[in-house]
Amino acid sequence: MDLFSQIENPEREEILALRKELEQANYQYYVLNAPTMSDYDFDQKLRRLQDLEALYPDMFDLNSPTQHVGSDLIEAKGERLKVKGTEKGKGKGFAQVAHRYPMLSLANTYSQEEIEDWLRKLPANVEIVCELKYDGLSISLWYENGTLTKALTRGDGVKGDNVIDNIKTIAAIPQHMQALESEVQIPDFVELRGEVLLSWESFERLNKEREAQGDALFANPRNAASGTLKLQDPNEVARRGLDCYLYYMLGEELPATKHYDRLQIAKQWGFPISDAVKVCHSLEEVMAYIHYWDTERKNLPVATDGIVLKVNDLSTQEELGYTAKSPRWAIAYKFPAEKQLTRLNAITYQVGRTGVVTPVANLEPVQLSGTIVQRATLHNEDFIRQLDIREGDMVWVEKGGEIIPKIVSVEPRTKSQEPRPISNDRTDEGDKSLLLAPYSIFPKNCPECGTPLVRVEGEAAWRCPNEASCPPQIKGKMEHFVSRKAMNIDGLGSETIDLLYSQGLLHNIADIYDLKQDDIARQERLGEKSAQNMLAGIEASKQVPWARVLFALGIRMVGETTAKKIARRFPSIDQLQWANVEQLTAIDDVGEQIAKNIIAYFNDLSNLEIINRLREAGVQMESQEEEQAPQSDILQGKSIVVSGVFSHHSRDEYKAMIEAHGGKNVGSVSKKTSFILAGENMGPEKRKKAESLGVEILTEEQFLELIKN
C-alpha cells in the first residue's frame, strides 16, 4: 500500500478511487471495445478528478488518467485478440511503433458557455474551423515519397499498433498519393490523421450476420469498427467494409499556413476529407454550425457524436501549445445524449451466472442513435423504487455515448392512466420504504427455478441461491468454465452449451468430460468435425494449470488474479478445501467475504462431487512441482514494474519469471519500486518518474542475466 492510501482523508481516497475507475473505463472502451460508462459520465468524473488533484498537488501522479490518453494497445506477443468475447485473432498481434508526433485526445465540452470560455482564452479575431466529430477510432497514416508505409492506432499516445495491412483494405484510403487536381508538390513525408469508422448500413449488416451465427452483437458502429481494425485477417476486415475520414496533416515543410487550406490540399491529393468542414469567424457562426448538424447529422450514413473546433492558423496553434493530454487550440463539443419517450410494456427478470436477478424493461420500439431500442436495464430493486417505475408508464430512454440504453425518468401519470404493478407476489409490511410506492417491487421467487430469492445485507441485488439447479446459473458456470482465461475449450460457446443442456447432455461442468463424439455429432449445427474439435479442446484442457482451474470453478468473487494468489498459498485443492477464514484472509487481496465464499463452496456436497469427477477425468487439481517450487529467491522482497514491448519473451512471461524468482509485480512506479524491466517504447511518463525517483531501469538482457546468475 502506498503512502497516499494511508492518509485518512475522504477526498484523497476519492482521488485514488476515481483513478482506478477511469483507468478501468479506458480499458473497457479502448481495448475491449465494450464501454461501460457514457462519454458524459467519464468526462464528469475526469473533471472531478482534475479538481481534486488541483486541491492536493502532493498527490500528483504522471500515471493518472488526467495526464495521459486511454490506450488501445494490444500485447505484441503471446496474446490473442478477443473482442466482446467473440472476436479472435489468428496471429501474435501487431508491431508497435512510436508516433513521430504525440497523438493526444481532445478536451470535451457540453455547453455553449464552455465554448464561450474557450474562445475567450484565444487571441482576438482568430478563425475557427468547425468539423464533424465522427464516432470511430483514430488512425495515423504515414506517407513517404507518396506511398503509404505505416498506419498506427492512437495506442497510448506515444506509440500505436501498426495495422497497415488492414488499413489497405479500406477503399477510401489511397495507398499512393496522386496530385490529380493539385499543383502542390507531394512532400517527402506527410502524416494524415483521421477516423476509421463503419457506416450504419455496414454495422446493421454485420450485426445481422452475427445474430444468425449466434455471436454477441456489437453495441454500436464505433465498437464494431475498432474490433474490426484489430482483427488479424485482412480478408475479413475487407469484407466488413470500413470507411475513413481524415482531419489533420502533420510533417515538415508542408504547404499552406492554415489548417483549412491543408485539408483542401489533402482532398486534391485524393484523401477522404469531409465536405462539412467550415471556417467560422464568431461565436454566432460556431453555434449556428452546431445547431444545424445536431439535427442534420441524423441523415448522415455514419455515426457522429459532436463537433470539433480548431484554431485555423497553424502558427497560432503552435503558440497555444498543449496540456499533458490535449491541445489548447482545439476542443470537442459533444452533442447531448439522445433521449426518446416510449412506453414500458413489461418488466422481465434475467438470472445471471452468479444468481443475481436483473430487471429488464421491455419497451415499445424506439430509434436512438441510429439503432432500434426495445430493451433497457433497470439495474435492481432500489433503482425501480427510486423512479417509481411501473408497467404501462411512459419513460424517457437515453443512449448516452451510444452505449447500453437506460431509463432516466418517468413521465407524470394522468388520472386516466392505470399502470399495472410490477409484481404482486412480494409483501413486506415491515419495510416502510414500500410506502413510497403503492405497488410491490420485485418477485420473491426466482423467475427461472422458483427458488425464494435472498438479498445479502448491504447489497442492492436479489440473488437466487439455487446454484446447483437454476438453469441460467448452470449454463453461465459452464460458459465461464470453458472461457479462454479459464479452461480455454474451443467449440463450446454459449449457443452450443445451451443446445447440449437442452438435450440433457450437460447438467454441470463435470459433464463436459463425459461428452461422446456421437452425442455431439448428431446435434443440429454441429457434425463430426465440430465434435472432433470440441473433444480435442476438452482433452487439451486437462493440462490447464491448477490456478486457472481454480478460477474456472467460478467461486463467487474469486477472479483470475485472486485465484493465482490462492493457488500459490494452497498448491492443491485438497489443501484449499480445509482452509479456514484466518488462513485465507492472510493471502493478499483475499478479504473476509471472499474467504466465506470459498468455505461455502466446499461445504456444498454437490460441488465436492463435481470436483471428484473433474479429478477422475484428469483435470489438474494441484500444482506441478515446477509450479510449486520457486526457481530462486534472487528477487525476494523486490517490487518490479514491467513496461514496454519485448523481443525475447512476452510481458506475461516476464511477470511469471518475476514471481518464480520471489519478486512482486506492481503496476506503477513509486519510491518502493526496486527496478523497472523496460522493453522498447517504454512509457515516457514511467521513465520520467523513475529517473526523478532514482529507480533503476533494466533491459531485457540485463534482467535475464540477473535471474540466470
Candidates 84, 90, 133, 159; catalytic one: 133
- Which contacts of 419-428 are long-range, i.e. CB under 8 A and separated by 24 or more positions? 419/390, 419/391, 419/392, 419/393, 420/390, 420/391, 420/392, 421/390, 421/391, 422/347, 422/359, 422/384, 422/389, 422/390, 422/391
How far is the C-alpha of 154 from the C-alpha of 195, rounded, in Å? 10
Return all residues near 332 (Cβ < 8 A) that are at least 6 apart: 106, 107, 108, 109, 133, 306, 307, 308, 309
If we measure between CA atoms, which residue out of 454, 452, 467, 442 comes closest to residue 606? 467
Q: Which phi and psi (to 5°) does residue 296 adopt?
A: -70, -25
**Is 104:322 a contact under the CB 8 Å cutoff?**
yes
- CB neighbours (10 Å) of residue 427? 10
H or E stretch covering 141: strand 137-144
DSSP 216: P
Q: Rounded to 5 degrees, what angle do the CA atoms 638, 642, 645 make? A: 155
Pick the closest to residue 472 from 349, 553, 352, 359 (CA basis).
Answer: 352
CB 164 within 8 A of CB 111: no
Which ranges of 461-505 does DSSP label H, i.e. alpha helix?
Answer: 471-482, 494-502
DSSP notation for 615-656: HHHT---B--HHHHS-S--TTTT-EEEEESB-SSS-HHHHHH
Distance CA 487, CA 661 (A): 26
Separation CA 142–CA 148 (nearest Å): 6
Alpha carbon separation from 399 to 25, 113, 335, 339 (Å, rounded): 17, 24, 12, 7
> Cell 479472435 belongs to which residue?
88
| Cα separation, 593 vs 585, whole angstroms | 9
C-alpha cell at 57: 498537488
Beta bridge partners of 377: 360, 406
**Cell digits for 416?**
386516466
The DSSP output letter for 572 is B
**Contact criterion met (CB below 8 Å) for 328 and 347:** no
Q: Which residues pair with 284 in a beta bridge?
A: none
- State the CB neighbour count (10 A cutoff) for residue 341: 12
310 is an active site residue: no
Q: Which residues are catalytic?
A: 133
